[in-house]
Amino acid sequence: MTTIPLPSSGPVRDTIEARPEGDNYLTHTRGLFSWIFTLDHKRIGVMYMWSVLGAFLLGGIFALLVRTELLTPGPTITEDANTYNQWFTLHGAIMVFLVIIPSIPAALGNIILPVMLGAKDVAFPRLNLFSYYLWVTGAILCIASLAMGGFDTGWTFYTPYSTTTTAGGVIPVLTAAFVLGFSSIFTGLNFVVTVHKLRPPGMTWFRMPLFLWALYATAIIQVLATPVLGITLLLLIVERTVNIGIFNPAMGGDPVLYQHFFWFYSHPAVYIMILPAMGIISEIIAVNSHRSIFGYRFIAFSSIAIAMFSFIVWGHHMFTSGQSALLNTLFSAISFSVAIPSAVKVFNWIATLYKGSVSLTTPMWYALAFLFLFTIGGLTGLHLATLSTDVHLHDTYFVVAHFHYVMMGSALIAMIGGLHHWWPKIFGRMYDERLGTIACWIIFIGFNVTFFTQFILGAKGMPRRYYDYQPEFQVYHVISTIGSYTMAFGFVLTAVSLFGSFFTGRKAPANPWGGRSLEWQCASPPPFDNFAKAPRVGDCYDFSVVHWDEKTGGYWVDESADPEVNPGAGGAKAAH
């Protein structure tokens, strides 16, 4: 009920002034050990960020190798089909387990969630650090598996091929995935407890920004689904080492049982990838349209609904596996139900643009790219959920294109958009807007050239995981490869833009975009303890009280005008 009186002149917040100049979480303590043993969620998130980006580079290199090989039917850069098989397997395994699943929750989520929530840290900081070191262990085991003979099973490790192949790196990579699973579980556990228990007074569930809802729903999936992956991988390792026979038909086992176990996790896993991305898009679109998100409650509820539904549709990966028509029918019908909340989210985001005040910053370009690419990715999911068309399209390049549209074109694009959106906050520097926007466009164009062609390839009957192919498909592959190089160039430009900010970027103001959520109420970069005094929780999507400040080159929030913070104020908010 009491309000901190603001200084009558100037908009600068006293909390920001309370810190000595240049003292933030990056500089508060120095030295290698202060990073290795840090318990600060922001530092842990930064370490995750560099690690995940490094893994992305590695996985991307394998992707370029694959695409280069596919320039011609027959051998192009390798004579050996086995080498090619290892390339696509590694590309998939690294991207799925080391990059996309941890990327938004562990990297961006760790840095932003507590600050956005108004908390001082996550609930279990030591567990957080332990999660990071589990990730590092998994990455090391993955590299070790390369040295021990590699593996060529495909990232899905289908039996009986994965239990009988003589490649020496299978068990290490299975162990790596097992360890990475626990990294994911503990991150999810941490986030669930943080959102439940560490909300400051005033931060009710429906005051939370949508990114937090998204991270929360993701965390639920991480906690509930990943253990099933753990036991599946454990059973695979045991099957390979001592041959228990549970997946071996010669010993009474069932290879399709493995597929059920695997997809029971891996389908919810793709929602682990996309839900946080949707959360980021909600934030970017709201902030850059300077208006409240349309249909906040629906978007919040739909995140939970998607999380719940994701557990009951795994069979749509197995329509041709020989399971009964009844099972196929059930899974197909339920899969359509998952499409609806996602579609309505897209409508909500488009409606958020309506009568907004749209600023086309680099994050906003990424958000618009997301809308375009996620629409295509989601719509092509309809083709795959439909039984008869899936018979034709399953295990072809159509599926490859579909999941790249949703995993890369949506989740990864959203992550990079989020990186740009919060980069000033995290590192205190502004990147070059123009270069960032150009890079976004190049990635967007390259992406579509690469993967839209693959829809056509797949529909025309080109199977997946092929080293060699019919000559009539070559023209499509050449186009796709050209697109992939374009995309790679776009990513290089993005890296130049972001890393260049460390050298030539101007110092970032506390609130460069005019956001209302709590992370914008502290300095850029944040102080080591996030907030000196408890931030006041207002309506995080009320931008009517946000004003541009030419002096700092950023925005400031006039909370005295926000009736949620200062009940005496009339407020400039439009009535509901």
Partner 1 sequence: MSMTSQIISHAASKASALAALAQSGAASEPTAPTFWMPTGASTIAGGVDHTLDVINWICYVFFALILVLMVYFVVKYRHRKGERFRTDFPHHNTPLEVTWSIIPTIIVIGIFVVGFRSYLDIYTAPKNAFDIKVTAQKWAWNFQYPNGATSDDLYVPAGRPVRLILRSSDVLHSLYIPDFRVKRDIVPGRYTYAWFQCDYPSGQPGKSPRDPNAKKVEGPEDPAQVYNLHCTEYCGTGHSKMNRYVYVLDEASFSQWMIDQSQWLDKIPEEELFFKAGPKIFARCQQCHSLDGTKGIGPSWQGIVERVKAYPNVGEGKKYGTWEDYVRTSILVPGDYVVPTYGNVMPSFKGQLNDKAIDAVIGYMEHLSDFDPKTGKYLKADAAK
Partner 2 sequence: MSQTIASTHTQHGAEAHGHGHDGHAHGDHGHAHDPNLAHHFDSLQQQFDSAKLGIWLFLATEVLFFGGLFVAYAILRMSHPEIFSYASHYLDTVMGGINTCVLILSSVTMAMAVRFAQTNRRGGLIACLILTFMGAIGFLIIKYFEYSHKIHDNLVWGPSFYVPPHDAEGDAEAKMLKTAPAAPGAAIVVNNPATFAIPDLAAKPAVDASAVKPASVGPTGVARASGAPAPAPAAEPAPGHSEEAHPGTHLEDKAMPPNTHLFFAIYYAMTGLHGIHVVAGMGVLAWLTWRAIRGDFSSKNFTAVDTGGLYWHIVDLIWIFLFPLFYLIH
* Residue 115 binding partner 2, by CB under 8 A: no
Q: Which amino acid is at 106?
A: A
Which partner, partner 1, partner 2, none, binds residue 235 by CB below 5 to 8 Å per kind?
A: partner 2
* Residue 154 binding partner 1, by CB under 8 A: yes
Q: How far is the CB of 347 from partner 1 (least distance, A)?
A: 5
Which partner, partner 2, partner 1, none, binds residue 232 by CB below 5 to 8 Å per kind?
A: partner 2
Q: Which of 398, 428, 509 is nearest to 23 (CA)?
A: 428
Which partner, partner 1, partner 2, none, binds residue 256 by CB below 5 to 8 Å per kind?
A: partner 1
Which partner, partner 1, partner 2, none, binds residue 38 by CB below 5 to 8 Å per kind?
A: partner 2
Alpha-carbon distance of 296 to 60, in angstroms, equals 36
* Contact (Cβ atoms closer than 8 angstroms) between residue 440 and residue 419: no
Which partner, partner 2, partner 1, none, binds residue 326 by CB below 5 to 8 Å per kind?
A: none
* Residue 148 binding partner 1, by CB under 8 A: no
Restricted to residues 202-241, the positions that interact with partner 1 (CB under 8 A) are: none
Restricted to residues 165-194, the positions that interact with partner 1 (CB under 8 A) are: 165-166
* Contact (Cβ atoms closer than 8 angstroms) between residue 236 and residue 174: yes
Q: Which of 146, 156, 130 is nearest to 44 (CA)?
A: 130
Q: Which of 369, 370, 358, 371 is nearest to 514 (CA)?
A: 358
Which partner, partner 1, partner 2, none, binds residue 197 by CB below 5 to 8 Å per kind?
A: partner 2
* Residue 289 binding partner 1, by CB under 8 A: yes
Between residues 25 and 62, which has the closer beta carbon with respect to partner 1? 62
Q: Which are the contacts of 131, defined by CB distance < 8 A and separation ≥ 6? A: 106, 182, 183, 184, 186, 187, 190
Q: Which of 239, 235, 217 is nearest to 227 (CA)?
A: 235
Which partner, partner 2, partner 1, none, binds residue 173 by CB below 5 to 8 Å per kind?
A: none
Q: Which are the contacts of 342, defined by CB distance < 8 A and separation ≥ 6? A: 278, 302, 306, 374, 378
Q: Which amino acid is at 441?
A: W
Q: How far is the CB of 331 from partner 1 (least distance, A)?
A: 11
Q: Which of 86, 196, 190, 97 is nearest to 139 (CA)?
A: 97
Restricted to residues 290-319, the positions that interact with partner 1 (CB under 8 A) are: 290-292, 294-298
Restricted to residues 52-81, the positions that interact with partner 2 (CB under 8 A) are: none
Restricted to residues 57-116, the positions that interact with partner 1 (CB under 8 A) are: 80-82, 85
* Residue 38 binding partner 2, by CB under 8 A: yes
* Residue 573 binding partner 2, by CB under 8 A: no
Single out the residue of 64, 71, 81, 244 in contact with partner 2 (rule: CB under 8 A): 244
Helix (H, G, I), strand (E, B) or coil at 194: helix
* Residue 321 binding partner 1, by CB under 8 A: yes
* Contact (Cβ atoms closer than 8 angstroms) between residue 409 and residue 368: no
Restricted to residues 355-394, the positions that interact with partner 2 (CB under 8 A) are: none
Give me 523's structure tokens: 């300095």
* Residue 327 binding partner 1, by CB under 8 A: no
Between residues 219 and 277, which has the closer beta carbon with respect to partner 2? 219
Single out the residue of 5, 322, 568, 570 in contact with partner 1 (rule: CB under 8 A): 322
Restricted to residues 345-374, the positions that interact with partner 1 (CB under 8 A) are: 346-348, 350-351, 353-360, 368, 371-372
| Residue range at the interface with partner 2 (CB under 8 A); choices 53-61, 220-228, 313-321, 477-485 | 220-228
In sign, the C-alpha dihedral spanning 12, 195, 361, 40 is: positive
Q: For 485, what's the count of Cα atoms within 13 Å in the CB-facing half-sphere?
A: 11
CA 409 to chain centre: 11
